[in-house]
Structure 1
Amino acid sequence: MPRHAQLATALLFAAASATSLSAQSARRPFRIEEATIAQIHAAFKAKTLTCRALTKAYLDRIEALDKRGPAINAIILVNPDALAVADSLDKRYATGGPTGPLHCVPMIVKDNFETVGMQTTGGSLALEGWKPLQDATMVRQIKHAGAIVLAKSNLAEWAFTPYETVSSILPGYTHNPYALDRVTAGSSGGTAAAVAASFGAVGLGTDTGNSIRGPSAHQALVGIRSTMGLTSRAGVIPLNASSDVAGPMARTVADAVAVFDVVVGSDPADSVTAPADAKRSASYAAFLVRGALKGARIGILRQAYERPTLDPEVQRVFERAVADLQAQGAVIVEARVDSLDAIQRRQQGGCNRFKADLERYFVARGSNAPVKTIDEVLRSRKFHPTVEQRLRDAAQSTEMPEASAGCQSRERVRSALRDAVLQMMDSLKIDAAIYPTWSNPPRLIGDLNTPHGDNSQLFSPSTGFPAITMPMGYTRDNRLPAGVSFLGRPWSEARLIQLVYDYEQATKHRRAPVLQAR
């Protein structure tokens, strides 16, 4: 055969093979397990996936695995309009392309975010059936970017506890998809379990002392608690307005950052965000680059986690994480806030803001508010027994936070801690401080006696500084996830994102839980 004929034959064969592979790709169903936003959008662009097909696949997975099969029990309700929204997004895509950076990204939203047309309960039967008149700011932002609120997720009732996810609105506990007899931590455990189990692409949670970072660590996720004031809490049922932060929970750093880029910024409905537009980066996604750990100075903050009950397996996993950082060129130093004990001893009196913050929140909802007071909730008896004492303690509060000597003392302590942590970081010239997000593996469901290991309550919430948790490995025969937290200076999210992305790409610790439908 002449050479030109051979070449023509080869080209025809290659073209036929490419057509065959393209056809196979078109026929092959899109795999939603562990799917990233980039993969979803690439499939849309290739016309191998529609928004409706994607949304239906997630809904089918929830149906098969949340109340049946392994029965994760993470979802309070699915959005009855999800497929209709998907259809509208498909129509808009066909005529004008993607509607925004989160086009048709199915999202799991913690059930303390207000959602128009969908019940919002804070996990409490006292709010059953309440449909707010507006979306929380963060929900409005993700919708505007093209996302679909696919489902509302379970939470520790009123976001009270960091230890487990149980509420009165949804019978039973939410289960850790990596080990169904283990807790998810709290309070955003429903979002964490749902995202880890691929019930949605990404999720929204809230964090007062732990509630994004702890559940993310327990489920091998990335969780971002931003600098106080960089993201809005408007339309989120409050727990403590001086510490509440809302943000993304995702399976990858890139996906968490994709949501983060959408939700940062000033919001007139939340005065604490006034500086946000001046402080935010133009694009946090621009910091998803390799090599950031080379030469970075990382401080080990032992005060955050070293205690007699530190689990030796968690310690070993953390030591491997430190070694991995060093292998990427990071300089590891010891970090210590020498004045920490003295600062904490300055606290005089208690400060329980929950009653004041919650009742102000409901007053602002006017006639649409489902309840008005803590006393009304108590009289209703519509709550889980585990939260009754917390509700009664809150009801006893008679002072407004602004007039409370205990709350004023707490703010002075926080100010002193901010100064001390910044001084430590500056003196050591560190980019971030690190510590295990929890010092112990996820506990057995129902166990409130063995050590919990929560390391999240002090440094980030009390200073208002940002912290990102990352998967760092597994304990207990390589089954139970463990997380490492990166704490930064205020408004340093861009630098933290550089560091955690480089660590993620170097280690690739995230893996899917093994779940089977019956």
Structure 2
Amino acid sequence: MTYHGSVLKKGGALLLAGTMVAASWGGTAVPSAFAAAATPSSQSSTAAALAGKAPASAATFVQAMEEAATLAGVPFTMDKLSGATIARKDAALALQQWLKLDAAPESFKDVPDQSEFASAVGALNAAGLMKGYTDSLFLPNAVLTASDVSILKDRVYNYIKPFVFEEATIMDMQTAMAQGKLTSKELVQHYLDRIAKYDDQGVSLNAVLNLNPDALKIAEQLDEERAAQGPRGPLHGIPVLVKDNFDTKDMPTTAGCICLKDSVPDHDAEQVKKLKAAGAIILGKTNLHEFAFGITTSSSLGGQTLNPYALDHYPGGSSGGTGAAIAANFAAAGMGTDTGGSIRIPSSFNSLVGIRPTIGLSSREGIIPLALTQDVGGPMARTVSDAAIMLDATVGYDKKDVATAYAVGKIPSSYTDFLDVNGLKGARIGVAPELIPSTKAEEKAVADVINAAVEELKSLGATAVPISIPNFAEINKYPSLSGYEFKFQLNDYLDSLGDKAPYHSLSEIIASGQFDKTQEQAMKARDARDTLETTEYKDIVLKRTQITRDSLLKVMADNHLDAIIYPTSTQAAGVIGKGQTSGANNRLSPFSGFPAITVPAGFTSDGLPVGMEFLGRAFDEGTLIKLAYSYEQGTHHRQAPKLTP
């Protein structure tokens, strides 16, 4: 087995006195480097002198590396070393020989270019196993302490252990590709195999509508690019799935409707374009509730998507195809859209993280609209860190979506900078009893999980502040604008397709009969609207938005809150055929335009996932990510579905 010593980014932070700190890749957390602390004034002084630790013997070092190899299940061929201590240069030589690391250049002032250990130092530095004491000093004669050897053992184990596809994070994949254990082409093929095994046959989730026929070819090109000039960033060569209402110029974009089954737009949606520019591979398109009308994910083109945790239950919607697919490990991460709860509900039902961004943070250009006053696109992933990486790639100004002008100057360098395991310490979290109903048995099952989650928040350092949402009853009297805007905005979208449009209006689609007949009345009601120039519509747009924003900002300011939490859905996934409700909590984010993130909070006694949603102020996604990440890392509630091992 050969391991190639390339890294995600050279340089970065150091490990001093046995303390691990994160290096940086455009703000994305990556594995930190190994360095033994030693006094720069004297290389005969050991790292132990600085750290207060005893020096390790050569035999101890060899034994530790053998234990790492045994744990990883790989051959151990390191020659035995002797001596009361072991110098950093000798450890580097031994590790380079054993791991067969490619030679790499180094620029340390105290490592002569012609020295026998120069290539080993460069290789270990490049592999991220041993860094310098400073950016310019390696201290080759400094000896390793017992603490250093322990840390190095962990680093070597993580470096040589076999890559496990299922539940792997984006950074796990990047590390494996950097170490030569994996190629993007292999990763794509693995996901294609899983889709064939679990979506097309077996449990047959019906989550994926179309696959990219060029995915393997694109992956091969990205592998070549990586070899020639390194990765573009954390999404380089990473396969992702997108909901089939995002335009893709190389695959049909259907909204789940048979009426659009052959509609291939000329351009990618802006967020798809950004993902491709970041090096992501659009592996395919996922099923959705047709035209994003509902929360059960059934369509005339894709049929009923199933929940991988319970095949007789709904997966949530309208982004249920993405939810089921990412939960079942069909791709690294995915994209959904959310008008009322369509990212967050399926994320909750599939034990995923879902981010509904502030309206204006990300472009909606090229997304088939439901109601642009409320529509957003956003990431769905198995971890908060993966969702943050996806968000980084998809945000930003787009002249074709004027709402994105509001985000200018409000986007951090990277949302991964907020991945703080201690993020809940000192946080003040609002908890409103009216958002955690428990009257019905289905509600109580969810309420029990959320009430336990509140206790977990407190154990992780947060203060749970009892609150009441001002004007909550009045806010909930307002309807979603999907019943008002859909006809006009869909017609605009169809017009944007030009001569290639299979239909030119909602009226034509209804007349064709080529759609899900269970939605006929809803479609006809929307088509019957003649204009948006009505007092009723304008009152909703203006008054609903103002009262929701003012109410949320007031309760947060009065109580000095960092966020408000509540169950993403007041009921877990329902049985297919018996209906599905989610409650009204998910309206607070779209009615205000404020961001929300849902994170796994546990499971009901029936084994159904439950999500907890964090709601924050406009363009404060960073705070929500910090809080959600701290909760995720402190609880680890996410579990993969047993039906798709």
Shared fold by TM > 0.5?
yes
Structure 2: which amino acid aligns with 1:511? Q
**Residues 1:155 and 2:285 are matched in the alignment:** no
Does the 8 Å contact 2:353/2:597 carry over to 1? yes
Given candidates 23, 39, 49, the residue that maps to 2:172 is 39
C-alpha deviations, 1:301-345, integer Å up to 9, x for none?
Answer: 333342633622211111110000000111111121233334556
Given candidates 277, 288, 298, the residue that maps to 1:166 is 298
Cross-structure match for 1:303: 434
Cross-structure match for 1:394: 526
TM normalised by structure 2 equals: 0.75
Structure 2 CA distance for partners of 1:132 and 1:7, relative to 1, 3 Å:
closer
Cross-structure match for 1:426: 557
Cross-structure match for 2:636: 508
Cross-structure match for 1:409: 539
C-alpha deviations, 1:100-141, integer Å up to 9, x for none?
Answer: 331011001100000011011000011011111000000000
Structure 2: which amino acid aligns with 1:369? A
Cross-structure match for 2:137: none
**Residues 1:361 and 2:490 are matched in the alignment:** no
**Residues 1:69 and 2:202 are matched in the alignment:** yes
Q: Distance in 2 between matches of 1:346 and 1:157?
A: 23
C-alpha deviations, 1:363-390, integer Å up to 9, x for none?
Answer: 2222232221111101111111221111
Given candidates 586, 589, 602, the residue that maps to 1:473 is 602
Aligned structure 1 segments of 4 or more residues deviating by more than 6 angstroms: 4-10, 20-29, 346-350
Does the 8 Å contact 2:254/2:261 carry over to 1? yes
Q: Distance in 1 between matches of 2:326 and 2:477?
A: 39
Partner of 2:304: helix, strand, or coil?
A: coil
Alignment of 1:256-335 (within 5 A): 256-306=387-437, 308-309=439-440, 311-335=443-467
Partner of 1:311: helix, strand, or coil?
A: helix
Given candidates 165, 182, 205, the residue that maps to 2:336 is 205
Structure 2 CA distance for partners of 1:355 and 1:381, relative to 1, 3 Å:
same
How far off is 1:26 after superposition? 10
Alignment of 1:56-95 (within 5 A): 56-95=189-228
Partner of 2:360: helix, strand, or coil?
A: coil
Does the 8 Å contact 2:174/2:234 carry over to 1? no
How far off is 1:69 after superposition? 1.0
Where do 5+ consecutive residues of structure 1 fail to align?
Answer: none
Q: Distance in 1 between matches of 2:456 and 2:282?
A: 37
Structure 2: which amino acid aligns with 1:404? T
Structure 2 CA distance for partners of 1:396 and 1:420, relative to 1, 3 Å:
same
How far off is 1:458 after superposition? 1.8
Q: Distance in 2 between matches of 1:389 and 1:119?
A: 26
Does the 8 Å contact 2:167/2:640 carry over to 1? yes
**Residues 1:123 and 2:256 are matched in the alignment:** yes
Pairwise CA RMSD: 2.6
Structure 2: which amino acid aligns with 1:148? I
| Number of positions where the alignment pairs a residue of Structure 1 with one of Structure 2 | 507
Does the 8 Å contact 1:196/1:512 carry over to 2? yes
Partner of 1:67: helix, strand, or coil?
A: coil
Q: Distance in 1 between matches of 2:477 and 2:630?
A: 38
Q: Distance in 2 between matches of 1:160 and 1:392?
A: 13
Q: Distance in 2 between matches of 1:16 and 1:415?
A: 63
Structure 2: which amino acid aligns with 1:408? K
How far off is 1:280 after superposition? 1.2
Q: Distance in 2 between matches of 1:29 and 1:121?
A: 39
Partner of 1:434: helix, strand, or coil?
A: strand
Partner of 2:399: helix, strand, or coil?
A: coil
C-alpha deviations, 1:67-120, integer Å up to 9, x for none?
Answer: 211111101011100000011001101100113331011001100000011011
C-alpha deviations, 1:188-229, integer Å up to 9, x for none?
Answer: 000000000000000000000010000000000000001111
Structure 1: which amino acid aligns with 2:538? Q
Does the 8 Å contact 2:436/2:447 carry over to 1? no
Structure 1: which amino acid aligns with 2:433? R
Given candidates 302, 306, 312, the residue that maps to 1:181 is 312
How far off is 1:439 after superposition? 1.3
Where do 5+ consecutive residues of structure 2 fail to align?
Answer: 1-56, 64-77, 82-93, 102-155
Does the 8 Å contact 1:295/1:329 carry over to 2? yes
Q: Distance in 2 between matches of 1:84 and 1:65?
A: 23
Cross-structure match for 1:460: 589
Q: Distance in 1 between matches of 2:62 and 2:578?
A: 69
Structure 2 CA distance for partners of 1:393 and 1:91, relative to 1, 3 Å:
same
C-alpha deviations, 1:473-514, integer Å up to 9, x for none?
Answer: 00134x110000000011111111110000000000001111
Structure 2 CA distance for partners of 1:502 and 1:372, relative to 1, 3 Å:
same
Structure 2: which amino acid aligns with 1:503? Y
Partner of 2:429: helix, strand, or coil?
A: strand
How far off is 1:347 after superposition? 8.0
Structure 2: which amino acid aligns with 1:203? G
Does the 8 Å contact 2:328/2:644 carry over to 1? no
TM normalised by structure 1 equals: 0.93
